[in-house]
Amino acid sequence: MGKYDFITAELSELKAQGLYNTIRTIGSPVGAWTVVDGRRVLNMCSNNYLGFANDPRLREAAKRAIDVYGVGPAAVRSIAGTMTLHVEFEEKLAHFKGVEAALSLQSGFCANLAAIPTLVGAGHVLFTDELNHASIIDGCRLTKAERVIYPHGDVAALRKALAEKRDAPRKLIVTDGVFSMDGDLAPLPEIVEAAEAFGAMVMVDDAHGEGVLGSHGRGIVDHFGLHGRVDIEMGTLSKAFGVVGGYLAGKAEVVEYLRQRARPFLFSSAATPADVAACMAAVDILQASDEPVKKLWDNARYFKGKMAELGFDLGQSQTPITPVMLGEATTAWEFSKRLFAEDVFAQAIVYPTVPRGKARLRVMVSAVHTQEDLDFALSKFARVGRQLGVI
């Protein structure tokens, strides 16, 4: 018996089930066309909604920040890592989002780990949608609060659970705004009403609403006109914003509490000057113009319409996220491999990212795709779809 036999066994099992993840490598900036495993291919699966990942204005801002501030903060925010850039960014972001205050963190994942266990603990109750993102699930695991997992988007079940736990001194409802693998929206107005009826706090993860929903991409709270009624908005700067980072935003008092208590803020070093400056440039662009957001939606509508005409099952998406439902993991990998041979990059998404038997390609349209690019992708999807008997 070798010490690592369990690893060898589990890895072969993953391979046998078609769940082994072959990770492709990017060799260029991320754009409509991207070098992947050494080949220039049409990129249909990055979260580069607005094309900011290689925007010249963000690149310039990052370079300038390095010249002024160097490459790293060399400290956590609460000791010596808070640069004027962080403060300026938080103010700009809060203004853009229409909230009182914002706190910048190292990633969206960190932001969820920061907020949830700070807001609730032993003796409190947490209500979480069954399809919430892994980082919310892990945030929930870090608290001693009792956890109620409610069926996906089911506000009646949520209300029932809230009624049962009405005596708990603190209650927090947490949900994805846009569900990242299906592209459907949480029923946020109804969730907020339920929260108000039972005195619960609401936290929404806006990772896929940021830069996508609402006026100028201000996110899901703006989309539903719920300003001031959602206690904490968590967002990422790693998707539509094109950089990397996360934030928590809301009422000044709540944000100040998180600044004093949230562990990833207190015990993990601050975001780098280049990242923060690039994020600031992204906010400036969106504040000034909603053109990139409009282009994203035009492209998404065009692509999704044509894919539906071809006969693909696109699930329940209400956003630019376009799941192409394929069922078995092996079909999804084969589809992805054949597309890649045709110069289209769309990675398979399989268990545990989505439930077993619900494997898919998750196509992400970007504002930087041209109609010619989308037509190219459509012709390849049609060809491979017919080859594999999917359409």
Ligand X SMILES: *Cc1c(COP(=O)(O)O)cnc(C)c1O
Catalytic residues: 180, 208, 239
Cβ pair 293, 52 in contact under 8 A: no
Candidates 68-76, 80-88, 200-208, 286-294 — which segment interacts with ligand X by CB under 6 A? 200-208
CB of 339 to ligand X, least distance (A): 23
Contact status: 347 vs ligand X (CB under 6 A): no
Contact status: 219 vs ligand X (CB under 6 A): no
The residue (of 176 and 182) whose beta carbon lies closer to ligand X is: 176
Tokens matching residue 152: 């996906």
Q: Which of 208, 223, 358, 369 binds ligand X (CB under 6 A)?
A: 208
* Most distant pair of Cα atoms in the chain: their distance: 63
Q: How far is it, in rounded angstroms, from Cα 368 to Cα 175?
A: 30
Q: Which of 207, 249, 271, 321 binds ligand X (CB under 6 A)?
A: 207
Instruction: Give the CA angle between residues 136, 141, 142 to the nearest 5°.
Output: 100
In the structure, how many helices (H) and strands (E) does the chain have?
A: 14, 13
Q: Which amino acid is at 202?
A: V
* Closest listed residue to residue 49, CA positions, set 205, 183, 177: 183
Q: Which of 180, 272, 319, 322 binds ligand X (CB under 6 A)?
A: 180
CB of 279 to ligand X, least distance (A): 11
Cβ pair 53, 29 in contact under 8 A: yes
Contact status: 205 vs ligand X (CB under 6 A): yes
Distances (CA, A) of 201 to 120, 160, 174, 228: 10, 16, 8, 12
The residue (of 120 and 174) whose beta carbon lies closer to ligand X is: 174
CB of 108 to ligand X, least distance (A): 2
According to CB under 6 A, which residues from 108 to 137 bind ligand X?
108-109, 133, 135
* Closest listed residue to residue 200, CA positions, set 224, 164, 236, 153: 164
Site string for ligand X, 224-263 (x = CB under 6 A): ------------x-x-------x-----------------
How many other C-beta atoms can be found within 10 angstroms of the C-beta atom of residue 57? 13
CB of 119 to ligand X, least distance (A): 16
Q: Which amino acid is at 65?
A: A
Candidates 161-169, 185-193, 205-213, 247-255 — which segment interacts with ligand X by CB under 6 A? 205-213
Contact status: 176 vs ligand X (CB under 6 A): yes
Query: Which parts of this chain interact with ligand X (CB under 6 A)?
Result: 107-109, 133, 135, 176, 180, 205, 207-208, 236, 238, 246
